[in-house]
Amino acid sequence: MQRLKKTNTTTTIFRQWSNRKYAVFNSIKKLICIGVLSVSYTIIMAQTNAGKKEDSIHISRVYQLDEVLIEPGQAMILPAQSQLIAIVTSDELKSLPAATLQDILNYSLIDIRERSPYGQADISIRGGTFDQVIVLLNGINFTDPQTGHYNLNLSVDAEVINRIEILKPSGAGLHSAGAFTGIINIITTEAKNDSILQINTAAGDYGLYKAGGRLGISRKNFSGIVSGSKSGHNGFRHNTAVENSQAFFSSSYSTGNSLIQMQLGYLKKQLGANSFYSARYPDQYDDNNSAIFSLQGTTGHTLKIRPAIYLRRHHDHYILIRNNPGAYQNYHRSDVAGGSLMAVYSYERYSAAGGVEQKHEGIISNNLGYQTETPIPVKGTDSLYHRSYNRNTTTFHLNQELKYRYIHLDLCMNMVNFSQENKYRYYPVFDITFPLNTVFNLSVGWRKAYRQPTFTDLFYIGRINTGNPSLTQEQSTTSELSIFGKIKNAGYHSSVYHRKGENIIDWYWNNNINKWMATNIANIRSHGVEAQIKYFAQQKSSTVALNQISIQYAYLMQKIDVNYQSLYVLDYLTHKITTAFEARIIKHAGASAAIIYADRNGTYLKYNQTTKTQDEQSYPKIITVNTRIFYVCNHITLYLEAQNLTDINYFDIGNLPQPGRWVSGGIIYKRGKNP
């Protein structure tokens, strides 16, 4: 396979990336300036020699990309000019003071709103709601159709994650049309050219405990990793205890130009859900478990054919009053099943991709959906599923990419058929990039996307909530201008975007019935600015030195055509600033810290448990500080970290206070050279 093509200038043209099979952008062996993509510039690095000890960063040369054909091994096929907002690299994952996936994501420009540490969190990209984000695991779409509250119910532990890619919808293959505000692709580690053994334990305040490990095997054409963990804590206030169990397995087998990949996982999560969905009820409880499976293949060289199938089943048992389940409880079982077929062809300065996906989403429940003729028993209980709902979505994807010197043009069309209305809707994407030099590059994009109502939006009936079966799809049109580049060891990116959202779904407070009601309530215009810079030392120092530092800033302003009390849509971050660094203290020891400033728009109804009344309040500005110190000796790493070091009182969601200073520590034992 041709990797580098020399030209008469010092520029090197990258024809293909086909190394790491799960990555949207596969790690390469050089520092690069991404000159073809309207991306949040990120330094991408891998080992220069598999037999050497890893360094955080090794810079040997800078390349401006002239041609890129993205060739991930998973079902997510991304033609060139994918839109990358940011990458959280494996080196950052190792050094950041983060214990969970939601902790990691919070250090990016994403808005993470925690209900419970180690428990549940909502994701927002560029001011959208948690239902407007697509979540992929190794390129496979496992987004929850019941509610976005469960999008992070994935069966992978933080220690198993190799990198995280945060993507704009543009050109994102079969997933792009449904990515209203963006995509998160979580990529796990693999055993490649070596076996891996890792055991990790941790303990901390509030009875925190964690034990887990992973084992990876690499033998000729086969590699596989199995991992598992058990974690939990006693809660930092009444009814906030958490218990998590998870297991994950992934494997790949290659022969010639063909590759077969599989992944499967299981998660069980039990949460004391104090005031999660209503401050009137401090004794809520949530019990979730989910199982995932995917199988995909790749065959061919110039023309690559990639079939894939995937399955996800999620069980949810929600109790309003934990010690009195009979008062009110819900049982839900949601299913996602799909298959896709993609083809990617590339020749010289032209590339094309096309494919089709058929996806089924369904639920059986005692609350969500339409009345069924024959109830189905809920396994292990006396309850019945007596409601159900099913829908199918067919997506056709076409992409054409042309490149000529300093102009790269990407045209994409997605045709989507929703079974509820049985007609096609069209979602085009247009991107043009001017890769001028390593210091300055320019990109302009325009795209359309949709978001289907969740099953909760459509049908949920609760003590203070009422869904709406008449909801229609949200629609968005986004335009964007980005500049990015590299100056010495620092990469920068800045973008300005405008998004017009139509038929936006929100829950508004209806004073006549004292309930939150779901409706297509508004059209919203969003105006945003993002800027970030990352610096990495050329190589790690054995003495006191700054190894890496990043500064990220996001600003958002929204204009809405109605005035109402919003439950979700209007509670976006107006400003977010994140600063993180990692430094060497002595030869085998280091420290890292992250500071996050958040200024949230919107209001919430503060509930008084004594008087049983509500008072509208604005969200306060918050600054949180998290730190970690670590010591590495041979195969053992010792670490101590503190979340919310300054012990401030804060919350991400109204009426859900988060814990004060939370100190924990742990030991990691690892053998093997892989991440």
How far apart CA 638 and CA 667 sit, in angstroms, is 5
How far apart CA 240 and CA 233 sit, in angstroms, is 9
* Tens of pLDDT, residues 505-545: 999 988 888 899 999 988 999 999 999 999 888 766 666 78
381-399 mean pLDDT: 96
619-633 mean pLDDT: 96
Q: Is 644 left (phi over 0), alpha (psi -120 to 50) or beta?
A: left
> Has residue 588 got a pLDDT over 60?
yes
Question: In the prediction, which pLDDT does 73 show?
Answer: 32
The most confident of 29-38, 74-83, 91-100, 259-268, by mean pLDDT: 259-268
Instruction: Compare 436 and 449 and report the one with higher pLDDT.
Output: 449
Question: In the prediction, which pLDDT does 83 show?
Answer: 64
Share of the chain above pLDDT 90, in %: 67
Question: In the prediction, which pLDDT does 56 show?
Answer: 33
Instruction: Compare 56 and 552 and report the one with higher pLDDT.
Output: 552
Domain membership flag for residue 380: yes
* Tens of pLDDT, residues 463-495: 889 999 999 999 999 999 999 888 888 888 899
User: Beta 133-137 vs 182-188: how paired, if at all?
Assistant: parallel
Domain membership flag for residue 3: no
DSSP letters spanning 172-192:
-GGGSTT-SSEEEEEEE----
Question: In the prediction, which pLDDT does 71 show?
Answer: 32
Q: Is 239 left (phi over 0), alpha (psi -120 to 50) or beta?
A: left
Model confidence at 273, pLDDT cuts 50, 70, 90, reads: very high
Question: In the prediction, which pLDDT does 350 show?
Answer: 86
Domain membership flag for residue 485: yes
Model confidence at 173, pLDDT cuts 50, 70, 90, reads: low
Question: In the prediction, which pLDDT does 504 show?
Answer: 96
Strand partners, 362: 335, 390
Question: In the prediction, which pLDDT does 594 show?
Answer: 97
Question: In the prediction, which pLDDT does 170 show?
Answer: 61
Weakest mean pLDDT among 69-73, 418-422, 573-577: 69-73
Nearest by Cα to 473 from 427, 527, 412, 528:
427
Question: In the prediction, which pLDDT does 20 show?
Answer: 41
Q: DSSP letter for 566, please.
A: B
Question: In the prediction, which pLDDT does 233 show?
Answer: 98
> Has residue 55 got a pLDDT over 50?
no
User: Beta 613-618 vs 636-643: how paired, if at all?
Assistant: unpaired
> Has residue 645 got a pLDDT over 70?
yes
30-51 mean pLDDT: 33
Backbone angles phi, psi at 143, to 5 degrees: -60, 140
Model confidence at 66, pLDDT cuts 50, 70, 90, reads: very low
> Has residue 328 got a pLDDT over 50?
yes
| Residues whose CB is less than 8 angstroms from the CB of residue 566 and which lie 6 or more positions away in sequence, other chains included | 506, 507, 508, 602
Strand, coil or helix: what is 21? coil
Long-range CB contact pairs, 43-50, < 8 A, 24+: 43/89, 43/491, 43/534, 43/536, 44/87, 44/89, 45/89, 45/91, 45/536, 50/193, 50/194, 50/673
Handedness of CA 560, 561, 565, 569 (dihedral sign): negative
* Tens of pLDDT, residues 74-110: 323 333 333 677 788 777 888 899 999 999 999 999 9
Tokens linked to 326: 């009979």
Question: In the prediction, which pLDDT does 87 show?
Answer: 80
Q: Which CATH number belongs to the domain containing residue 532 in this structure? A: 2.40.170.20
Question: In the prediction, which pLDDT does 540 show?
Answer: 64
Give the mean pLDDT of the chain: 86
> Has residue 502 got a pLDDT over 90?
yes
Domain around 419: 12-323+335-671
How far apart CA 332 and CA 119 sit, in angstroms, is 19
How far apart CA 267 and CA 356 sit, in angstroms, is 30
Model confidence at 348, pLDDT cuts 50, 70, 90, reads: confident
Strand partners, 518: 507
> Has residue 337 got a pLDDT over 80?
yes
Domain membership flag for residue 6: no
How far apart CA 66 and CA 441 sit, in angstroms, is 12
Question: In the prediction, which pLDDT does 59 show?
Answer: 28
Instruction: Compare 276 and 64 and report the one with higher pLDDT.
Output: 276
Domain count, the chain: 1
> Has residue 16 got a pLDDT over 80?
no
Domain membership flag for residue 98: yes
229-233 mean pLDDT: 97
> Has residue 246 got a pLDDT over 60?
yes
Question: In the prediction, which pLDDT does 172 show?
Answer: 56
User: 433-455 burial, b for 16+ CB within 10 Å, e for fewer?
Assistant: bbbeebeebbbebebbbbbbbbb
Nearest by Cα to 252 from 190, 312, 196, 306:
190
How far apart CA 200 and CA 100 sit, in angstroms, is 14
* Tens of pLDDT, residues 595-621: 999 999 999 999 998 899 999 999 999
Domain membership flag for residue 5: no
Domain membership flag for residue 105: yes
* Tens of pLDDT, residues 212-224: 999 999 988 999 9
Domain membership flag for residue 56: yes
Q: Which H or E element spans position 217?
A: strand 208-219
Tokens linked to 600: 């949230």
Instruction: Compare 196 and 205 and report the one with higher pLDDT.
Output: 205
Strand partners, 145: none
Instruction: Compare 542 and 409 and report the one with higher pLDDT.
Output: 409
pTM: 0.86
